[in-house]
Amino acid sequence: MRAGDVRALARAVSLVENAAPEAAALLSACFPYTGKALRVGITGAPGAGKSTLVDRLARTWRDAGSRVGVIAVDPSSPYTGGALLGDRIRMQERTGDDGLYVRSMATRGSLGGLAGTTADVAQVIEASGRDVILIETVGVGQDEVEIVRLADVTVVVLVPGMGDDVQSLKAGIMEIADIFAINKADRDGADRVEKEIRAMQSLAAVHTPEDWIAPAVKTIGTTGEGMDALHAVIQQRWDWLATDNRLQARRQTYWRERIEGMLRQALLKEARAHGLSQAELAQHAEQAAAGAEDPYKLVPVLVQRIFSARGGALWARRNGVTRIDHLGIAVESIAAACGFYEALGLRVTHEETVAHEQVRTAMIPIGDSRIELLEPLQEDSAVGRFLKKRGPGLHHVALHVEDIAATLAGLKANGARLISDQVQVGAGGHLYFFVHPSSTGGVLLEICQDAPQEPAQ
């Protein structure tokens, strides 16, 4: 993607847009190559001609030698969930121009005029080497102003004949404009729209000479008239941001809000990963609607569930627990038991007798873990006594650690009951010790580490 492969860029954008498992790593890899491109947001009411203006601006920057990315956001149907994604039709003339990349996105139910992953997609496109990112919102209303948080320069597109005089004085979308583009300026009323903008600005607080006052530029997107002037004033705004640390302050605000949003998403994801299923959520909603459950008390309980689970995982990482190494299953006969696993397409890769345990073992790999079949050689062996008392079944769970000596010392210090307080050597030369079921909740737990590597000769 960094080398200019457009297909690689398209695949990367799809991974991010669809929140694929690889998306987080991809965005992290892209991050060092972002932060320098100019991001221009184009917003306004439906039918204002935003797509045509975006097409014209893209041509202007391409003619100047800049590499351009375009993100065109279309509304998703509230009934079918589909979207037309037709904005790229207006840019068919540029097909084959590797310096222009156009991506259409559906809102997928997100509000604010953008899709939920628009900011991430912009990161990926910028990392591909684009100098300018043009972001066209859906046709937005007066309070759908998410674009101002993402864009460095926000262009609000107005047209004559859409709304009464008061419309231009309403708060929200009119307040986010860095530049007003009065499009379709060949229609009657263009001068009137400009006067209304000036009247609105005169009602604002007193400006200092250093303040940026949004200029109004008349354009005709279909003919390209006024596009050079619009391009020039966007560049003026970009230059203004580059002075007095304004751009840094603007992006610092953006990232503070963005990180908060990412935290909310991560917490919700963790909640779902730790048991908050759709069915449980529906049940809580039903209880809250009936007045049987207090949601203000419920949410702290759900949050505590997340941190309790995460705390256990953090302890495991700090103590070097990396994975479940294997499940030990006691059987009467390894040969008889293997038939079942072979029917599943699994195969024994290693068999060995551990003399001091009086047991024969057979290892069956499954992904990153294994099943260890345990056949006793003597009735009075540990596995033999287990079979006599409980019959065939799960004998123990084995956790793999990086430093078995440190883990053993840590468990001793915490008062865990151990079967043996010494590390032993088991099948394949791996190191292990057992923790008594009374300390683990009823299951015999083996802590193991790979066999020490022989020093190189």
40 pLDDT tier (thresholds 50, 70, 90): very high
- Residue 166: per-residue pLDDT: 38
Same-domain status, 311 and 325: no
CA angle 45, 48, 54 (to 5 degrees): 110
Q: Say whether both 18 and 33 belong to one domain.
A: yes
With respect to residue 261, please indicate whether it lies within any of the assigned structural domains. yes
pLDDT at residue number 384: 94
Q: Is the pLDDT of residue 271 over 80?
A: no
CA distance 364 to 326: 9
Distance CA 319, CA 314 (A): 9
Mean predicted lDDT score pLDDT of the chain: 82
Higher pLDDT, 250 or 96: 250
Q: What is the mean pLDDT of residues 337-356?
A: 88
Residue 317 near residue 282, CB atoms below 8 Å:
no
- Secondary element (H or E) of residue 216: strand 216-218
How far apart are alpha carbons 105 and 126 in whole angstroms?
A: 16
pLDDT in tens, 360-413: 999 998 877 889 999 999 999 999 999 999 999 999 999 988 888 888 888 888
- In the chain, the percentage of residues whose pLDDT exceeds 70 is 81
- At 300, the pLDDT band (50, 70, 90 cuts) reads confident
Q: Same domain for 115 and 135? A: yes
Query: Is the same domain home to 50 and 102?
Result: yes
What's the confidence (pLDDT) of residue 82?
A: 44
Residues 296 and 347 in one domain: no
Q: CA angle at residue 365 from 403 to 348, to 5 degrees?
A: 125
- Which CATH number do you get for residue 29? 3.40.50.300
The pLDDT value recorded for residue 143 is 46
User: Domain check: are 385 and 422 in the same one?
Assistant: yes
Average confidence (pLDDT) over 309-330: 69
Among 242, 277, 307, the domain boundary falls at 242
Rg (Cα) of the chain, in Å, rounded?
Answer: 32
Q: Which token pair is 242?
A: 């580059």
Domain boundary among 283, 302, 317: 317
Report how far apart the first and last C-alpha atoms of the chain are (Å, whole number): 43
Q: What is the mean pLDDT of residues 270-293?
A: 81
Amino acid making up residue 405: A
* Residue at 420 is within a domain: yes
In a domain, 248, yes or no: no
The answer to whether 448 touches 401, Cβ cutoff 8 Å, is yes
333 and 309 in a common domain: no
Q: Which helix (H) or strand (E) holds 100?
A: strand 100-106
- pLDDT band of 168, cuts 50, 70, 90: very low
Name the domain boundary from 209, 242, 275.
Answer: 242
User: Could you tell me the residue range of the domain that residue 306 belongs to?
Assistant: 254-317
Q: Quick one: 313 and 415 in the same domain?
A: no
Q: Is residue 247 part of a domain?
A: no
Q: Is residue 164 part of a domain?
A: yes
DSSP string, 268-304: HHHHHHTT--HHHHHHHHHHHHTTSS-HHHHHHHHHH
Q: Is residue 455 part of a domain?
A: no
Q: Is the pLDDT reported for residue 133 higher than 90?
A: yes
170 and 273 share one domain? no
Same domain flag for 313 and 390: no
DSSP 333-385: -HHHHHHHHHHTT----EEEEEGGGTEEEEEEEETTEEEEEEEESSTTSHHHH
Domain count, the chain: 3
Question: Within this chain, do residues 219 and 267 fall inside the same structural domain, yes or no?
Answer: no
Q: Is residue 456 part of a domain?
A: no
3-state helix, strand, coil in the chain (%, to 5): 45, 20, 35
Q: Is 247 exposed, middle or buried (0-12, 13-18, 19+ CB in 10 A)?
A: middle
What is the model's pLDDT at position 30? 93
Gap between the Cα atoms of 447 and 449, Å rounded: 7
* pTM (predicted TM-score): 0.63
201 with 79, same domain? Answer: yes
Whether 167 maps to a domain, the answer reads yes
| Segment 210-235 mean pLDDT | 91
